[in-house]
Amino acid sequence: MTKRIRKAVLPVAGLGTRFLPATKAIPKEMLTIVDRPVVQHVVDEARAAGIEHFVFITGRNKAVIEDHFDLAYELDDTLRKRGKTKELEALLADLPSAGGTSFTRQQAPLGLGHAVWCARDIIGDDEPFALLLPDMLHHTHGKGCLAEMMDAYNRHGGNHVAVAPVPDDQTHQYGIVGVEDVKAKVSRITKMVEKPPKGTAPSNLHITGRYILQPTIFNLLANQEPGAGGEIQLTDSMIALSRLEPFHAVRFDGDIYDTGSKIGFLAANIAYALDRGDLGPQLRQEIERLLER
């Protein structure tokens, strides 16, 4: 039997330099998509998939993320006294359960692999876990990306990564996987390559920032030599792990927004707002008006 996935790791230690000066005092993960921080959208996805415990890999000046996932007594009391029951209930519903969050410092910007390794003692050495990159929003009107991955994991066990197609002339910009069946929803991975040179990619399926990994990855990360940029690369350890354990690709068919880029961030705001009944119709009119200029 496969061991249930209860914990998720969210690396949130990045500096957000592409959004300066906005991120000088505000973590990039707390920038809002409409009226919810980016990181809240990712936690929502994970909670919908059944995640019970969230492990945030933080850095300096990220304490506001911890505050966001805690009670705000003054605010809660003010809302209660003013009879704003709906708003108060919404705030409380966003919170993980008591004891359901852990925060640990990465301390030095040594790469995604190093950030994941920092969670080793909280995850433990016998429990598989989910990994979600908060910059990457997976937008869908159906079942969430991680929930689909959970279904695949429950059928196949092992390790899973979410993938999505990109144009062939862009494969050199991403981590790419080769699979047994490129059109299948779930397919066994035959090859992983980080940013393959143009014309050499094994497919057009790129890794989208959602993973289910076995704890074996921690031992590999502990001994992983620095890779591109002098950082500990997660992909390098996943390639090593794939020689020991099976990996499956789970194809995500929704829209993916890289909120770490300005265009991705703006597009995500528009897409999420258009989906809302209280904002969508009016925003659509405003967009049409702007485009007619």
CATH number of 211's domain: 3.90.550.10
- Report the number of distinct structural domains present in the chain: 1
Three state DSSP letters for the chain: CCCCCCEEEEECCCCCHHHCCCCCCCCHHHCEECCEEHHHHHHHHHHHCCCCEEEEEECCCCHHHHHHCCCCHHHHHHHHHCCCHHHHHHHHHCCCCCCCEEEEECCCCCCHHHHHHCCHHHHCCCCCEEEECCCEEEECCCCCHHHHHHHHHHHHCCEEEEEEECCHHHHHHCEEEEECCCCCCEEEEEEEEECCCCCCCCCCEEEEEEEEECCHHHHHHHCCCCCHHHCCCHHHHHHHHHCCCCEEEEECCCEEEECCCHHHHHHHHHHHHHCCCCCHHHHHHHHHHHHCC
**Within-domain flag for 266:** no
Look at residue 224 in the predicted model and tell me its pLDDT: 85
pLDDT at 53 over 90: yes
Look at residue 16 in the predicted model and tell me its pLDDT: 86
pLDDT at 246 over 70: yes
Tens digit of pLDDT for each residue in 17-41? 899 999 998 999 999 999 999 999 9
Average pLDDT, integer, range 164-192: 93
**Within-domain flag for 267:** no
Tens digit of pLDDT for each residue in 230-242? 788 899 999 999 9
Look at residue 84 in the predicted model and tell me its pLDDT: 95
Look at residue 1 in the predicted model and tell me its pLDDT: 63
Look at residue 229 in the predicted model and tell me its pLDDT: 73
**Within-domain flag for 272:** no
Look at residue 140 in the predicted model and tell me its pLDDT: 93
Q: Residue 108 — pLDDT band, cuts 50, 70, 90?
A: confident
**Within-domain flag for 196:** yes
**Within-domain flag for 274:** no
**Within-domain flag for 68:** yes
101-105/53-58 β-pairing: parallel
Q: Which of 45, 73, 237, 78 is nearest to 150 (CA)?
A: 45
pLDDT at 130 over 80: yes
Length of the chain: 293
Angle at 26 between CA 20 and CA 27, to 5 degrees: 90
Q: Which two tokens stand for residue 121?
A: 């003692």
Average pLDDT, integer, range 181-190: 94
Range of the domain at 21: 7-260
Contact in structure between 254 and 140 (CB atoms under 8 Å): yes
Percentage of the chain modeled with pLDDT above 70: 100
Tens digit of pLDDT for each residue in 59-75? 888 899 999 999 999 99
Asked if omega into 11 is within 30° of 0 (cis), the reply is no
pLDDT at 147 over 90: yes
**Within-domain flag for 279:** no
Look at residue 293 in the predicted model and tell me its pLDDT: 86
User: Lowest mean pLDDT: which of 137-141, 209-213, 223-227?
Assistant: 223-227
**Within-domain flag for 278:** no
